[in-house]
C-alpha cells in the first residue's frame, strides 16, 4: 500500500459534526475523502475546501453505507484515486425517538445497520491500511452510550456498542501505534434532530445549556484523537450528565430518561 497516498475518510460528511470534521482535517493539511448519501452536498463541500486552500480537492464518494456494495465501491474509488486510508472517521448515524413497540421495525433495524454494522464493516475493511499507516480511528458515539434510553432505546444501545467497541479496539491497536477515540457529544445543532423527530421545546428547554456548536465538538474530537484519548465528552454540562447517569440508581434514572424522551 506504500505507493498510495494517505487520506482521511469521513462518513456522514454532508452535515453537522461530520462536515466540521472534514473541514478541520483539511485545514490541518490532510487529504480528505467525503462519504455520505447526498453527493451534491459533498461536491459543494469539496469545492469549499479546495477554495479554502487545500493542497488537493477532497475525494467525493456519494454512497449509502447500508447498501451491500457500498464498501467495495468505496474501496474501488480510493484505489482509482491512488489513496489509502490513514485515518477513519466513523460519523454516519441516526436515531428515532419513540417506543420500540410503536416505531417501524424496519426503521429501527436501519439504525442498527448504519450505527453498528456499517461502522464495524468500515473498520474491518480498512483496518489493515490504518495499521500500516500507524494512523487512527475516530468513532462518533454519544453521551447516550453511557446509559439506557427508554423512548430512544435502539439509538442509545447502538451508541453503547460504538463506545465499547472503540475502547476495546484502542487497547488492541495500541501496540501498532494506532490511536482510537470515541467522541461522545451531547446535543448538537445538526440535522440529526430533525431526522430523529425532536426539538428542544417545552420541558426539553432544560437541555439547551448542553448544546454545543458542531465545530466545537469536531475540534475536541480531533484533539482527543491526536492526544491519544480513548473517550472524550465535549462540554462541562455533558460531563456532568454522564457522571450523574453513572451514579444514579437505574430505578431512578430510567423513569427520568423516559420522561425526558416523551417531552421531546
Catalytic residue selected from 155, 161, 200, 222: 155
Q: What is the per-residue DSSP string for 56-86?
A: SPPEEEE--TTSTTHHHHHHHHHHHTTEEEE
Q: Please tell me the distance from the alpha carbon of residue 238 to that of residue 48, in angstroms, as a whole number.
A: 32
155 catalytic per annotation: yes
Q: Please tell me the distance from the alpha carbon of residue 29 to that of residue 198, in angstroms, as a whole number.
A: 37
Q: Please tell me the distance from the alpha carbon of residue 116 to that of residue 148, in angstroms, as a whole number.
A: 16
Q: Please tell me the distance from the alpha carbon of residue 147 to that of residue 143, in angstroms, as a whole number.
A: 8
If one counts every other C-beta atom within 10 angstroms of the C-beta of residue 25, the result is 27
In whole angstroms, how far apart are CA 246 and each of 133, 141, 146?
36, 17, 7
Query: What residues act catalytically?
Result: 155
Amino acid at each position: 500500500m506504500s505507493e498510495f497516498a494517505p487520506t482521511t475518510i469521513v462518513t456522514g460528511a454532508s452535515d453537522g459534526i461530520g462536515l466540521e470534521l472534514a473541514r478541520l482535517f483539511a485545514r490541518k493539511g490532510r487529504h480528505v475523502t467525503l462519504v455520505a448519501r447526498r453527493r451534491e452536498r459533498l461536491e459543494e463541500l469539496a469545492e469549499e475546501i479546495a477554495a479554502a486552500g487545500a493542497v488537493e480537492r477532497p475525494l467525493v464518494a456519494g454512497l449509502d453505507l447500508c447498501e451491500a456494495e457500498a464498501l467495495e465501491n468505496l474501496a474501488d474509488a480510493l484505489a482509482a484515486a491512488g489513496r489509502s486510508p490513514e485515518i477513519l472517521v466513523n460519523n454516519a448515524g441516526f436515531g428515532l425517538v419513540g417506543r420500540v413497540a410503536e416505531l417501524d421495525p424496519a426503521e429501527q433495524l436501519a439504525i442498527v445497520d448504519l450505527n453498528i454494522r456499517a461502522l464495524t464493516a468500515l473498520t474491518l475493511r480498512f483496518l489493515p491500511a490504518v495499521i500500516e499507516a500507524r494512523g487512527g480511528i475516530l468513532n462518533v458515539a454519544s453521551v447516550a452510550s453511557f446509559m439506557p434510553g427508554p423512548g430512544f432505546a435502539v439509538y442509545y444501545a447502538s451508541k453503547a456498542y460504538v463506545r465499547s467497541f472503540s475502547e476495546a479496539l484502542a487497547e488492541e491497536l495500541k501496540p501498532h501505534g494506532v490511536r482510537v477515540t470515541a467522541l461522545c457529544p451531547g446535543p448538537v445543532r445538526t440535522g440529526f434532530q430533525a431526522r430523529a423527530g425532536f426539538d428542544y421545546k417545552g420541558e426539553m428547554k432544560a437541555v439547551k445549556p448542553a448544546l454545543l456548536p458542531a465545530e466545537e465538538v469536531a475540534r475536541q474530537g480531533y484533539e482527543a484523537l491526536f492526544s491519544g484519548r480513548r473517550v472524550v465528552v465535549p462540554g462541562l454540562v455533558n460531563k456532568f450528565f454522564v457522571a450523574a447517569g453513572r451514579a444514579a440508581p437505574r430505578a431512578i434514572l430510567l423513569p427520568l430518561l423516559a420522561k425526558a424522551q416523551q417531552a421531546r
